[in-house]
């Protein structure tokens, strides 16, 4: 990806050397990859799905292992749709940053859920236990529904608990806990973990109308500042990059739980996953290089307003960290 020479010299894309068109194309490409993957049949590496379904059939889940694999597919389809939406709305304009943040958060959380369920090293029984761990909380978090509907979900949850107590299923390891826990586990595997965790916190702030995050984004002082707009654009690109890396991590797992139409299809899709991993590495490297220039850009921005720039070198050194020192 070369610097976008067709854009204004001080546009966010030019200052960061990351084209918004390239980001949109990358999102659409990964969405296409996922769409191909979810068409493949499910594969259980450590057991016979039909036998497991028969052994653990219940009133609510007549074919529980099959449903576990369907749920993985549903999460990936949600990821796909989020990426398609990103490919349609993302630009350099500040007006799309909040919608972009909400979509990026969706992509990360759906990817984390698929990642949790699709560990290829899990036994079928453990996959079932994890499915129940992720599913049952959704039955009791229905307080906004009508009372009779809430009662129906509560009854279903009791049925599941009673049924599970009679089975030999293991305890989910780890338990799902919450979507925040699942995201934390996923992001902990990234080389740029600290930056990714910071990105996710900011995305949650935008989704929940955090005054701090909204003020930082829309601060009137910097509306016309090319330098500050470039920083905000880089943050949005970074959020999408975290989303794309989350998708690739989940996809690599699900790839091992699917039966391709042919060996050629299997190899070609594997190459596509590797390709998008390299695309994400390139975007991350360009962001790292940009963050090293931000203290100077900030000085220019503050000077243009007759203000003294805060000392932010340490902050932006952290943001450009290559991940070699990630211990806390």
Alpha carbons within 13 angstroms on the beta-carbon side of residue 142 total 19
Least confident among 73-82, 186-195, 249-258, 259-268: 186-195
Please give the model's pTM, rounded to 2 decimal places: 0.88
- Tell me which residue has tokens 């590496």: 45
pLDDT in tens, 114-125: 999 999 999 999
Question: Sorting pLDDT into bands at 50, 70 and 90, what band is 141?
Answer: low
Q: Is 192 exposed, middle or buried (0-12, 13-18, 19+ CB in 10 A)?
A: buried
**Mean pLDDT across the chain, nearest whole number?**
88
Average pLDDT rounded to a whole number, residues 39-54? 94
Rounded CA gap, 97 and 103, in Å? Answer: 10
pLDDT in tens, 2-39: 444 444 568 999 999 999 999 999 999 999 999 999 99
pLDDT-above-70 percentage for the chain: 89
* R_g over Cα of the chain: 22
Rounded CA gap, 12 and 4, in Å? Answer: 10
Number of H helices, E strands in the chain: 13, 2
User: What end-to-end distance do the CA atoms of the chain give, in Å?
Assistant: 34
Enumerate the β-bridge partners of residue 42: 258
Is residue 155's pLDDT more than 90? Answer: no
Helix (H, G, I), strand (E, B) or coil at 230: helix
Helix (H, G, I), strand (E, B) or coil at 311: coil
Would you kindly state where each structural domain of the chain is located, as residue ranges?
A: 22-118+176-319
pLDDT in tens, 243-283: 999 999 999 999 999 999 999 999 999 999 999 999 999 99
Is residue 327's pLDDT more than 50? Answer: no
Kindly list the distances between the CA atom of residue 23 and the CA atoms of 13, 40, 92, 201, 286, in Å, as whole numbers in the listed order: 11, 27, 11, 21, 12
Q: What angle do CA 228, 230, 236 make, to 5 degrees?
A: 110
Rounded CA gap, 217 and 265, in Å? Answer: 44
pLDDT at 2: 46
């Amino acid at each position: 990806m070369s610097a976008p020479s067709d854009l204004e010299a001080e546009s966010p894309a030019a200052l960061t050397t990351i084209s918004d068109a390239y980001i949109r194309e990358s999102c659409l490409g990964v969405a296409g990859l996922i769409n191909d993957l979810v068409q493949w049949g499910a594969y259980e590496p450590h057991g016979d799905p039909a036998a497991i379904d028969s052994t653990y059939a219940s009133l609510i889940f007549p074919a529980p292992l099959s449903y576990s694999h369907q749920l993985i597919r549903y999460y990936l389809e949600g990821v796909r749709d989020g990426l398609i939406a990103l490919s349609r709305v993302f630009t350099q304009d500040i007006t799309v940053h909040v919608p972009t943040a909400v979509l990026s958060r969706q992509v990360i959380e759906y990817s984390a859920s698929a990642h949790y369920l699709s560990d290829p090293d899990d036994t079928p029984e453990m996959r079932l236990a994890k499915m129940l761990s992720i599913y049952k909380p959704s039955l009791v978090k229905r307080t906004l529904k009508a009372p009779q509907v809430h009662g129906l979900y509560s009854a279903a949850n009791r049925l599941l608990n009673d049924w599970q107590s009679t089975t030999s299923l293991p305890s989910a390891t780890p338990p799902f806990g919450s979507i925040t826990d699942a995201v934390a586990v996923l992001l902990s595997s990234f080389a740029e973990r600290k930056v990714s965790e910071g990105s996710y916190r900011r995305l949650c702030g935008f989704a929940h109308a955090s005054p701090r995050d909204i003020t930082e984004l829309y601060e009137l002082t910097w509306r016309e500042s090319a330098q500050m707009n470039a920083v905000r654009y880089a943050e949005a690109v970074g959020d999408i990059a975290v989303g794309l890396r989350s998708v690739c991590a989940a996809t690599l797992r699900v790839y091992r739980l699917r039966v391709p139409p042919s060996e050629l299809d299997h190899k070609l899709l594997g190459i596509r996953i590797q390709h998008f991993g390299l695309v994400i590495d390139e975007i991350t490297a360009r962001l790292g290089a940009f963050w090293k220039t931000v203290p100077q850009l900030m000085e220019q921005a503050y000077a243009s307003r007759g203000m003294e720039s805060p000392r932010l070198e340490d902050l932006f050194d952290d943001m450009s960290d290559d991940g070699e020192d990630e211990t806390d």
